Structure 1
Amino acid sequence: MKTHLWSLIDAHLAEHPDAVAFIEGERAITHAEFDLLCRRTVAWLDAQGIGKGDRVGVWLVNRVEWLALFFALARVGATLVSVNTRYRSEEVSYLIEKSGARLLVLQLGFRKIDFAGILDAMDPASLPALQAIAVVDASPATPARLLGRPVVPFDLHMREPVQGLDESDPTACAILFTTSGTTKGPKLVMHPQRTLVDHAWRCAHAYGMDADGAVMLAMLPFCGVFGLNGVLAAFAGGAPVVLVDTFDGPQAARLLADHRVTHTFGSDEMYRRILDTAPADRPFPAARLFGFGAFTSSFSEYAHEACARGIPLAGLYGSSEVLALFSCQPMTLPVQARIEGGGLPVARGDATVRIRDVQTGALLPAGQSGEIEIGAPSLFLGYDHDQDATAEAVRPDGFFRTGDLGHLRADGTFVYESRMGDAIRLGGFLVNPVEIEAVLKRFDGVADAQVVAVEIDGQTRVVAFLILTDGARLAETDVMAQMRAQVAPFKVPTRVWFVDAYPVTLSSNGVKTQRNKLRDLALARLAEPVAAAGA
Structure 2
Amino acid sequence: MHADDVSLHSLIGSKTATDPAFVFEGQPISRAEFSRKVEQTTAWLAAQGIGNGDVVAIWLVNRVEWIALLFAAARLGAVVAAVNTRYRSAEVAHLLKLSGAKLLVMEAAFRAIDFAAILADIARDVVPALQKLAVVGADAIPAQWPCIQFDAFDQPYPSAPTQDDVDLPVLLYTTSGTTKGPKLVAHSQRTLATHANSVAKALQLSPPHHSLLAMLPFCGTFGMTSLLGFIAAGAAVHALDAFEAAPALTILSERKITHTFGSDEMFRRILALTDAPRPFPHLEVCGFAAFQPGWRELANEADARGMPLHGLYGSSEVQALFAIARASDAFADRIEGGGWPMSPDAKVRIRDTETGELAADGISGEIEIRAPSCFLGYFNNPEATRDAITADGFFRTGDIGRLRDDAFVYETRAGDAMRLGGFLVGPGEIEDELKLCAGVADAQVVAVDLEGQARCVAFVIPAGAPPQQETLVARLRERLAGYKIPARIYAVDTFPVTDSANGVKIQRVRLRAMAMERIAAE
Report the TM-score range of the alignment, normalised by the length of the smaller protein: 0.7 to 0.9
1:179-215 per-residue CA deviation (whole Å, 9 max, x = no partner) reads 0011111000000000000100110111132353101
- The alpha-carbon deviation at position 107 of structure 1 amounts to 1.5
Alpha-carbon distance in 1 for matches of 2:316, 2:447: 30
Q: Is 1:273 aligned to 2:269, yes or no?
A: yes
Structure 1: which amino acid aligns with 2:380? Answer: H
For residue 514 of structure 2, what is the aligned residue in structure 1?
A: 523
Letter in 1 for 2:59: W
Instruction: Give the Cα separation in 2 of the matches to 1:4 and 1:501.
Output: 40
Q: What's the CA shift for 1:161?
A: 7.3
1:92 and 2:92 aligned: yes
How many angstroms apart in 2 are the aligned matches of 1:500 and 1:223?
Answer: 27
1:159-179 deviations in Å (ceiling 9; x for gaps): 257487x53100000011000
Cα distance change of structure 1 residues 243 and 465 upon mapping to structure 2, 3 Å threshold: closer
Kept in 2: contact 1:209–1:263 (CA 8 A): no
- Matched with 2:9 is 6
2:349 alignment partner in structure 1:
354
1:126-525 aligned within 5 A: 126-139=126-139, 142-143=140-141, 145-146=142-143, 148-156=144-152, 157-160=154-157, 162=159, 167-348=163-344, 350-410=345-405, 412-421=406-415, 499=451, 502-503=454-455, 520=511, 522-524=513-515
Find the aligned partners of 2:103 and 2:324 in 1 and give their Cα distance. 37
Specify the structure having the higher radius of gyration (Cα): 1
In the superposition, the TM-score normalised over structure 1's length comes to: 0.79
Cα separation, partners in 2 of 1:529 and 1:190, compared to 1, 3 Å: closer
- The runs of at least 4 consecutive aligned structure 1 residues that moved more than 6 Å come to 463-467, 510-519
- Which letter maps to 1:396? A
Q: Following the alignment from structure 1 to structure 2, what is the Cα–Cα distance between the partners of residues 106 and 422?
A: 32
- The within-5 A match list for 1:113-128 is 113-128=113-128
Following superposition, the deviation at residue 338 of structure 1 comes to 0.3
Correspondence list, 1:96-111, <5 A: 96-111=96-111
Aligned partner of residue 384 in structure 2, secondary structure:
helix
Q: Which amino acid aligns with 1:96?
A: L
Deviations 1:32-61 (A, max 9, x none): 000000100001011101000100100000
Letter in 1 for 2:302: A
Q: Distance in 2 between matches of 1:161 and 1:281?
A: 56
CA deviation string 1:94-128 (max 9, x = no partner): 10011100000012021111011101111111111
Cα separation, 1, equivalents of 2:35 and 2:48 = 20
* Structure 1 residues 20 and 163: alpha-carbon distance in aligned structure 2, compared to 1, 3 A threshold: farther
Report how far residue 503 of structure 1 moved: 1.4
Partner SS, residue 44 of structure 2: helix
User: Counterpart in 1 of 2:494?
Assistant: none
Cα drift, residue 530 of structure 1? 7.7
Determine the C-alpha separation between the residues in 2 that align with 1:306 and 1:282: 9
User: Which whole-Å CA distance do the structure 2 matches of 1:529 and 1:419 have between them?
Assistant: 24
Unaligned runs of 5+ in 1: 424-462, 468-498
What code does the residue aligned with 1:195 have? T
Q: Write the deviation string for residues 219-240 of structure 1: whole angstroms up to 9, x where unpaired.
A: 1000000000000001111111
Q: 1:343 to 1:47 in 2, by over 3 A?
A: same
Q: Which moved more, 1:77-86 or 1:108-117?
A: 108-117
Q: Is the 8 A contact 1:295 1:511 kept in 2?
A: no
Q: Distance in 2 between matches of 1:284 and 1:137?
A: 34
Q: 1:530 to 1:78 in 2, by over 3 A?
A: closer
Q: Distance in 2 between matches of 1:317 and 1:512?
A: 23
Instruction: Assess if the C-alpha contact under 8 Å between 1:296 and 1:512 holds in 2.
Output: no
Say if 1:515 and 1:321 are closer, same or farther in 2 by CA, change over 3 A. farther
> Is contact 1:267-1:511 (8 Å) kept?
no
Q: Secondary structure at the match of 2:262?
A: strand
Q: Is the 8 A contact 1:42 1:161 kept in 2?
A: no
Q: Deviations over 1:458-504 (max 9, x none)?
A: xxxxx99776xxxxxxxxxxxxxxxxxxxxxxxxxxxxxxx575416
Distance in 2 between the 1:8 and 1:161 partners? 25
Alpha-carbon separation, structure 1, partners of 2:209 and 2:519? 61
CA distance, structure 2, for counterparts of residue 74 and residue 530 of structure 1: 53
Closer, same or farther in 2 for the Cα pair 1:217/1:30, shift >3 Å? same
Report the Cα offset of residue 302 of structure 1.
Answer: 1.2
**SS state at 1:85 partner:** coil
Counterpart-to-counterpart distance in 2, 1:514 and 1:417 = 25
Identify unmatched segments of 5+ residues in structure 2: 418-445, 458-481, 490-507
Q: TM-score, normalised by structure 2?
A: 0.81
How far the C-alpha of 1:278 sits from its partner, in A, is 2.7
> Secondary structure at the residue paired with 1:152?
strand
Question: Given that residues 316 and 341 in structure 1 are in contact (C-alpha distance below 8 angstroms), is that contact kept between their aligned partners in structure 2?
Answer: yes
Contact 2:447 2:512 in 1 (8 A): no
